[in-house]
A and B are shown apart, each in its own frame.
Chain A
Amino acid sequence: MPSSLSNFRAICAAVALLFAFAHPAAAQLSFKPTAEAVHEDKLLNALKEGDKITGRISIPDKMASSLIQPAGRDWRDFHRGKLPIIGGVAILGMLALLAIFLMVRGRIRIHRGFSGKTILRFASFERFTHWLTASCFIILALSGLNVSFGRTLILPLFGAEAFATMSAWAKLAHNYLAFPFMLGLVIMFLTWIKDNIPGKLDLEWIKQGGGILFQGKHPPARRFNAGQKGIFWIVIIGGALMSVSGWFLIFPYLPGNVTVLQVWTVIHAVVAMLFIAAMLAHIYIGSIGMEGAFDAMGTGEVDLNWAKEHHSLWVEEEQAKADAPPDRTPRAVPAE
Chain B
Amino acid sequence: MKVFVAALAFAVVAAVGVAMVLNTLQEPSSVAFSTSGARVGDPGHNLIGPG
Contact = CB atoms under 8 A, between A and B. Distances in A.
Q: Do A and B come from one complex?
A: yes
Interface of A: 58-61, 64, 124, 127-132, 135-136, 172-173, 175-177, 179-180, 183, 300
A132 B35 contact: no
Contact of A61 (B4, B8, B34): B34
B3 A128 contact: yes
Contacts of B4: 127, 131, 135
Given A176-B19, A300-B3, 16 more contacts: A59-B33, A59-B35, A61-B34, A64-B33, A127-B7, A128-B6, A128-B7, A130-B7, A131-B7, A132-B7, A132-B10, A135-B8, A172-B19, A176-B15, A176-B18, A179-B14
Contact of A180 (B6, B14, B38): B14
Nearest to B35: A59
A217 B4 CA distance: 33
Nearest to B34: A59
Interface residues of B, number: 17
A173 B6 contact: no
Contacts of B34: 59-61
Given A124-B3, A128-B3, A136 B11 contact: yes
Nearest to A139: B11
27 contacts: A58-B35, A59-B33, A59-B34, A60-B32, A60-B33, A60-B34, A61-B33, A61-B34, A64-B33, A127-B4, A128-B7, A131-B3, A131-B4, A131-B7, A131-B8, A132-B7, A135-B4, A175-B19, A176-B15, A176-B16, A176-B18, A177-B11, A177-B15, A179-B14, A180-B10, A180-B11, A180-B18
